[in-house]
A and B are shown apart, each in its own frame.
Chain A
Amino acid sequence: MTGTALLFLVLGLGLIGWIAGRARAAVFVRSAKGGPRGTVNSLPFYHGWFVAICAIVPALVFMFIWQSISPALVTNMVLSAPAAADLPQDGFARAAILSEARAIAQGFQTAAFQDASEKLVPLYKNALSYYKWIGVAATLLLLFAGGAFAFTRIKPDFRARSKVERVVMFGLLVASLIAILTTLGIFASLIFESWRFFSMVSPFEFLFGTEWNPKSTVTPGADNGYGAIPLFWGTIFIGAIIAMIVAIPLGLMSAIFLTQYASATVRKWMKPILEILAGVPTVVYGYFAALTVAPAVRDFAVMLGVSNAASDNALAAGIVMGVMIIPLVSSMSDDSIAAVPNAMRDGSLAMGATKSETIKQVLLPAALPGVVGGVLLAVSRAIGETMIVVMAAGYTANLTANPFATITTVTVQIVALLTGDQDFGSPHTLAAFALGLALFVTTFFLNYVALRVVKKYREAYE
């Protein structure tokens, strides 16, 4: 029996419990004296839920726990068998044989590459089915015990509704806690893997080194080519400089035009079009940048007399990324301009200032904090953007301010380091996590500051 089948069985039995509980409570309601419901505390439907919850929840929790501990139990059982005694003592080779034998036993793989694992397959099959049936039996036992317990509790004066509602409230709380759990998971995995990385490569080299040419085997103390300065520079150059040179003027002016000048009809049509720009997947932008924009930029550079222009130049990636960011800048500016009190605008217009003078000298200065917050969010979005730079910018680290040269970024290198078959503990993989940590901390900081600025500014006018 597979996990899915067991899951459906559990849910099906829960449904039967629900029907049984409801039917039993309905009998009370019908036989009760005095009034339509008599002295019955809760509707039959809540009794049904009570039975179903008591039956399903413990069984599901057990299934989940069993899923995570049974592999270890299976491995123990296989290792304690006499046939496993002649396995190599070396941890890595041993783990490879075990995992191969397991994959064959589970049917994921058909043939063994190592003879040693072939021998272990029947052992694994035995152990797997042994523990699987224990798990199935225990799950069903829990389910029936829970259901029976709940069923005997059903009495006319049993407060089924408040019990069910308590479970519902608990479920709501658990759902909200998943957000915290995810944040902690990100923090923990990034910090743990980065710590492993920094035990091999010194943090000093990583943060201040200017040569990025990561070696797959590292020697402590020596220069291993893990200097991330060129990556940080590339990320800032493409995401925070080129992209912003495109996005800030276009986004801000679009917002001004749409809110202050355009007629209602134009606004109605143009705003969704700008939103489409934000909805185009980044892989499409990346393909467009690599296929169309980058060759055009290179031709332009050659026309200017820049002979060493690369086809995967930083400018193309930056321009396309800037276009992607336009809607974000535009909608943030839109919001903050709209939040400026009308009295300020009307006052300026009444004094005889033209519209553009009012915008430049009254609205924009008043809306500036909101616009700055929007730009910070846009920068955070741009430096975390992956697909455009992976497809259009290059893989060679280059510490240069020449927009026609190949420049690589943090996200490109994360993708590059995790490409190809490498085992999880290699310095390449771990370096990706260290870069991820740097990216996470930077974007977290930018988002935090941006949200604070925007919030504070909104409060000033409300």
Chain B
Amino acid sequence: MSNAIMDPTPTDWNGQIMQKRIARRYAAERRFKAMGFVAVALSTLFLAFLLFTMLGQGLRGFQRTEIAVDFDFPALTSGATAASISGPNADAALNSMDVPGIVELAVSQQYGDLSEGLLTAGAAGNVRQMLMDNPSLVTAKQQLWLPVDSRLDVAFKRSGEPEAEKTVAVLAQKDALRTGFNWTFLTGADATDPSAVGIWAAFKGSLMTMAITLMLAFPIGVLAALYLEEYAAKNRLTDMIEVSINNLAAVPSIIFGLLGLAVFLTLFGMPRSSALVGGLTLALMTMPVIVIAGRNAVKSVPPSIREAALGIGASPVQVVFHHVLPLALPGILTGTIIGMARALGETAPLLMIGMRAFIPSAPQGFTDATTALPVQIYLWSDEVNQGFVEKTSAAIIVLLIFLLGMNALAIYLRNRFETRW
């Protein structure tokens, strides 16, 4: 056994050299495991940091700063009564009352030289709405809380321009400022003044776009998945379809935008920036995702079910539509929801088809020019005005809530209805 003596490799497990070696190997093992842990922790931390930043800034976007304004309505309106501004002629009566003038007068009476640019542009509209809702306000002196201008809003919430800071300090001393919930943000549309913006228009645009996408991508995707899994013969055409679908699922989304621009807008002359074109473009993008998810769901239905149905005399079409499709539906729906969530967050293709214009009202139809939630986020993020920062983050919170909701629904469906055969 001279070989063992010559070999420098230690064989004594309790020897010092071996112990050292094992310690080194175990240290390497611990280091490697720690690296893995750090990788996971870093990814999680990044996500937490992102959500925390958005929440921290965005929650302020749901609030607005309001200022107390005393209205001596009997004097200001020269004796309007509750009856005169209610009923069918309320609109005309309020128009002749010159609400903006009244507001301006009331503010300047109360705040003097501070009153310049104190209220947001939409404040008169708010007063008008309050009078509409409750005409009896007009009969007495009232203190109304009205949203302030965006500069003051920013200065009150965190820190703004020095001049606005000074005004806010004076007003805060008078106890004239408070923080209220910003309903306008949930019900309004885009505006040039950040304190008057809302996401309802963009949200409605997104919903309409998604409706078109779902109406097209879901049936086409499901039918294509059924065809490819159940009926397609092994031939060149089927191969081509498979290659196209796999490729389309990985094509950058901006390319779909270019397709929409060249085909839907230029070739077919469809209305620019509309929910219709947006939905069509996103449907082409979502369809392959649904096909791939649908094929996996159809594939997982065991062949015995098909054979049993065929055995009792069902036709191939009946087998698929009466038996395979209902069993595969939960899986298909899960894939569809995930695909729709991706489409809802998609921005680039919508920019390509012109959805980047300033649209100050909600779309009324599928061919109206509209904007979508992610596009609105992009447009606001480009604004110079500091007031838009919190609005952008607030819109992001709304978008993320919807995406998380959709994903949670998909996970729930998967857990609730998925059958393991």
Contacts and interface: CB of A to CB of B under 8 A. Distances in A.
Interface of A: 68, 71, 108, 161-162, 165, 168-169, 171-173, 175-180, 182-183, 185-186, 189-190, 192-193, 249-254, 256-258, 260-262, 270, 272-277, 279-288, 290-292, 323, 326, 354-357, 359-360, 377, 380-381, 383-387, 390-391, 411, 414-415, 418-419, 424, 432-433, 436, 439-440, 443-444, 447-448, 451
Given A254-B40, A354-B29, A283 B377 contact: yes
Contact of A443 (B231, B251, B389): B251
A458 to B, nearest CB: 15
Nearest to A448: B247
Interface string B247-286: 1101111111011011100101101000000000000100
A106 to B, nearest CB: 10
Instruction: Tell which of A108, A179, A290, A383 has the most Cβ of chain B within 10 Å.
Output: A179
A444 B38 CA distance: 34
Contacts of B247: 183, 444, 447-448
Interface string B107-119: 0000000000000
A424 B266 contact: yes
Contacts of B47: 273, 276-277, 280
A172 B226 contact: yes
B201 interface: no
A435 to B, nearest CB: 9
A99 to B, nearest CB: 9
Contacts of A424: 266
B95 interface: no
B399 interface: yes
B421 interface: no
Instruction: Tell which of A360, A383, A414 has the most Cβ of chain B within 10 Å.
Output: A414
Nearest to A436: B258
Nearest to B271: A108
B24 to A, nearest CB: 11
A279 B403 contact: yes
Given A180-B244, A386-B348, A432-B258, A356 B403 contact: no
Contacts of A415: 254, 348, 351-352
Given A261-B33, A283-B347, A249 B227 contact: no
B28 interface: yes
Given A182-B248, A253-B38, A443-B251, 7 more contacts: A165-B315, A168-B321, A171-B223, A172-B226, A175-B220, A253-B40, A436-B258
Contacts of B271: 108
Q: Top 6 closest A-B pairs, CB basis?
A: A384-B252, A281-B345, A257-B36, A253-B39, A175-B223, A189-B262
B371 interface: no
A314 to B, nearest CB: 19
B127 interface: no
A178 B227 CA distance: 12
B356 A419 contact: yes
16 contacts: A172-B227, A183-B247, A250-B43, A270-B44, A277-B47, A279-B341, A283-B381, A291-B389, A354-B28, A357-B25, A387-B347, A387-B378, A391-B378, A418-B261, A436-B254, A447-B250
B26 interface: yes
Contacts of B223: 171-172, 175-176
A261 B29 CA distance: 11
Interface residues on B, range: 35 or more
A386 B253 contact: yes
B400 interface: yes
B248 A391 contact: no
Contact of B54 (A162, A288, A385, A436): A288
Interface in B121-135: none
Contacts of A272: 411
Nearest to B403: A279
A49 to B, nearest CB: 11
A416 B360 CA distance: 23
B85 interface: no
Instruction: Tell which of B28, B44, B219 has the most Cβ of chain A within 10 Å.
Output: B44
B337 to A, nearest CB: 11
B29 A176 contact: no
A256 B248 CA distance: 30
Contacts of B253: 384, 386
A280 B50 CA distance: 10
Given A175-B227, A273-B44, A356-B32, A414 B258 contact: yes
A257 B40 contact: yes
B345 A177 contact: no
B228 interface: yes
Contacts of B291: 179
A280 B53 CA distance: 14
A121 B240 CA distance: 48
Interface string B283-303: 010011001000000000000
A434 to B, nearest CB: 11
B374 interface: yes
B83 interface: no
Contact of B269 (A71, A256, A291, A377): A71
B351 A68 contact: no
A412 B253 CA distance: 13
B385 to A, nearest CB: 14
Contacts of B39: 249-254, 257
A372 B268 CA distance: 42
Contacts of B254: 384, 386, 411, 414-415, 436, 439
Given A273-B47, A274-B43, A355-B29, A385 B252 contact: yes
A22 B207 CA distance: 37
A179 B238 CA distance: 11
Contact of A418 (B228, B345, B352): B352
Interface in B389-421: 389, 392-393, 396, 399-400, 403-404, 407, 411
A211 B133 CA distance: 62
Given A179-B245, A415-B351, A290 B28 contact: no
Interface in B209-249: 219-221, 223-224, 226-228, 231-232, 240-241, 244-248
